[in-house]
Amino acid sequence: MSAVFKFENWRATEPAPPSAETVHKALIQLERISKTYDSGENAVQALRGVDLKIDRGEFCSIIGPSGSGKSTLMHILGCLDSPTEGRYWLDGEDVAAMSGKALARIRNQKLGFVFQTFNLLPRATIWKNVELPLLYAGIDGDERKARALEALDRVGLKDRAKHRPNQLSGGQRQRVAIARALVNTPSLLLADEPTGNLDQKTGGDIIRLFEELAANNQTIILVTHDPGIAQRTHRRIQIVDGLIVDGEEME
Amino acid sequence: MLILEAIIDGVRDIKDHFGRTLLQLLGIILGAGSIVATFSLSVAGKEASMKFYRMTGGIERIWISDKETGKITLDAKALASKGLTYSDAVALRKEGKEIDLVSPVSESNMLVRYGNVEKSRNVMGVTPAYSPISFFHVEHGRFITDSDLTGAARVVVLGTTRAQEFFGSENPIGKTMTIDGSGYLVVGVMEEKYFSFDQKRNALRWMNRFIYIPITTMMTRKGQPLQQGKISFMHARMKDVKRHKEAVAEIERILFRQHGTKDYQVFSRVANLARNESENKMYDVTFMICGIISLLVGGIVIMNIQLASFNERVREIGTRKAVGATPMQIFFQMLTESVIVSVFGGLLGIVAGKFFTQGIALLTRNPAAITPSTAMTALIFAAGTGLIFGMYPAIRASRLNPIEALRTE
């Protein structure tokens, strides 16, 4: 009896690893990812078996109508949420079954987030805001300051380091958020509707900044509902009803 | 590293919402304040009474006196008893193993005169042991000696008040003054005793009013044979304060054998001190409980405010989690903030406690002193309150789901 259980346990925890080739080549590999939100009697299936592979240096967009599951996919890609089923390799690590603490470490070291609403800490200076990921990584003060300043330089806001977020315009705030996302040199930059709160021109500037970063081989995934912005990425991943319907690379 | 940032955040929080923080801290301030006041008053009070005892013979001094008894309860033996006599003192001195000094005193009101000043004053017949047993020494000249005692010499030693009263600015030593018609040579003037609980009145002024002559001289003047001579009271000094019960028991045993009835009473200062202490402890505990209740209320307020500010900061916590803060890191950060705020309250509480203490000391004329250990105790209590009541908000923050937190408006 116990032998049977042991066997089954072994089956559940020791699946065949992906081939060395796929692990090394792809930054992101999703296999049959599904996510079910169990709200009482009626369970909602937000993702229904998504397969996706994204290589290093790709600049992609995820597009889809609201309720399509694109936010859920983005949360799983961003290690903010775990899939109900399926496997997810990020930069060679199997993150699908990780604990909250391990996911926090992954977010801290491999990911950078840019939000629609910037999500800067209002009472901290720009400098402190950009330092934040390094603070939780346990990096000491001097190095933190230097790296934060360097990241601010990359987005052209070095001279605003000592300002507070409310002293900056929306576009500038989003640049600060991008600096914060870049400060830990992440494997993947995830942006959720980064131009949603900005006017046309400022939004265009932000997208141009993403293009520059992509040109420097930064892997970027951009979640948007704006086809014009999606058009400017190198690959569009369209999601409808919890499934990817079109994820071809556009060359 | 993170702790340092959390401390800076906490301090900034206090600065940004100074008014709110003060209100939030009222309970902590009052709590820490009353703890400071309790300890200060109790410690200083204890020190003062210890000092008082030390100045007047220490806690090793035992007081022995006649017992006032109602006539009705007197039996034949008691009626026959003459009360304490000089021979009792001799017996104690000879047989007592727990005591090393015995000082019998015979008091009497006598007419004292020098020059134009003539007054009825209390005069004490003493032995040389009186001075060491009372921690009371001569400043000028000498005290009563053994040869004064054996010769029943007509010599007198004055307290400073009496020296001033009869001699003014004159040096009394070597002068002759008249006591109940006979001439006495002034051989010494005592030191001035001063001790004050309230910095106003000298609690020991009565000691400066004494006039001493040899006890043998006193007996002779009263026309009593020395051995049967009645004495007013006596002091004995125990060898070891830890054995105060044995010392008292021994004295009672010897006196009972001498008298055959219990017409005397024996008080040890150690027992007195213990009684005082248990009385004081009641006040201490009452105050302490008030302090702790204030701290509890303060802690609940802190918890409420932390929860409220937690709701304000859900997005911030979500952001911190998104950039990689672990639940543990969030927990410590939030907890540090509560502790910082409450330590700040504790510091203000020490200041408040200083005012409480001074106010109470002024009203009750009690001594008071804030010691570093008192301040430390208050601070630790305040920090502990922050730690305990910061726990729940910190746990809630650490468990927050980042996705939901980021979605909150």
**How do residues B81-122 score in pLDDT, each as one tens digit?**
678 888 899 899 898 888 999 999 999 999 999 988 899 999
pLDDT, residue A247, reads 67
pLDDT tens per residue across all 409 residues of chain B: 677 878 887 788 778 778 878 887 888 888 888 888 888 877 777 777 777 777 777 788 888 988 866 555 556 555 566 788 888 998 998 988 889 999 999 999 999 999 888 999 999 999 999 999 988 999 999 999 999 999 889 999 999 999 999 998 889 999 999 999 899 999 999 998 888 776 678 888 888 999 999 999 999 888 888 778 888 999 999 888 888 888 899 999 998 888 888 888 898 888 777 777 787 778 778 877 888 888 888 888 888 887 887 777 888 899 999 999 999 999 998 898 888 888 988 999 999 888 888 888 788 777 777 788 888 888 998 899 889 988 999 999 999 988 888 887 6
B298 near B28, Cβ under 8 Å? yes
B402 near B318, Cβ under 8 Å? yes
A123 near B12, Cβ under 8 Å? yes
A118, A123, A136, A183, best to mutate vs chain B, most B CBs in 10 Å: A136
Domain ranges in chain A are: 57-82+98-246
Q: How many CB pairs under 8 A join A and B?
A: 66
Which is nearest to B66 in space by CA: B268, B264, B266?
B264
Q: Which of A81, A113, A123 sits opposite B323 (nearest CB)?
A: A113
> Which segment of A13-22, A26-35, A155-164, A219-228 scores lowest on mean pLDDT?
A13-22
Q: Which chain A residues touch B328 with a CB distance below 8 Å? A: 101
B21: tokens are 């923080």
Within 10 Å of residue B262's Cβ, how many Cβ atoms? 15
pLDDT at A251 over 90: no
pLDDT, residue B189, reads 93
What is the β-pairing status of strands B176-179 and B182-190? antiparallel
Q: What is the dihedral of CA B152, B158, B164, B169, to 10 degrees?
A: 70
Q: Give the pLDDT band (50/70/90) at residue A18.
A: low
Strands of the sheet containing A219-224, edge to edge, are A111-114, A188-192, A219-224, A59-63, A235-240, A243-246
Instruction: Check residues A62 and B409 and name the one with the higher pLDDT.
Output: A62
pLDDT, residue B300, reads 86
B11, B323, B395, best to mutate vs chain A, most A CBs in 10 Å: B323
- In CATH terms, is domain A57-82+98-246 a member of 3.90.550.10? no
Give Dmax (Cα) for chain B.
106
pLDDT, residue A250, reads 47
> If you measure CA to CA, which chain A residue comes closest to B8?
A124
> If you measure CA to CA, which chain A residue comes closest to B3?
A135
Q: Which residues contact B43 (CB under 8 A, 6 or more apart)?
A: B369, B371, B374
- Type of residue found at A126: I
pLDDT at A11 over 70: no
> If you measure CA to CA, which chain B residue comes closest to A189?
B323
On whether any CB of chain B is under 8 Å from the CB of A104, the answer is yes
pLDDT at A22 over 80: no
CB pair distance less than 8 Å for A108 and B16: no
On whether any CB of chain B is under 8 Å from the CB of A40, the answer is no
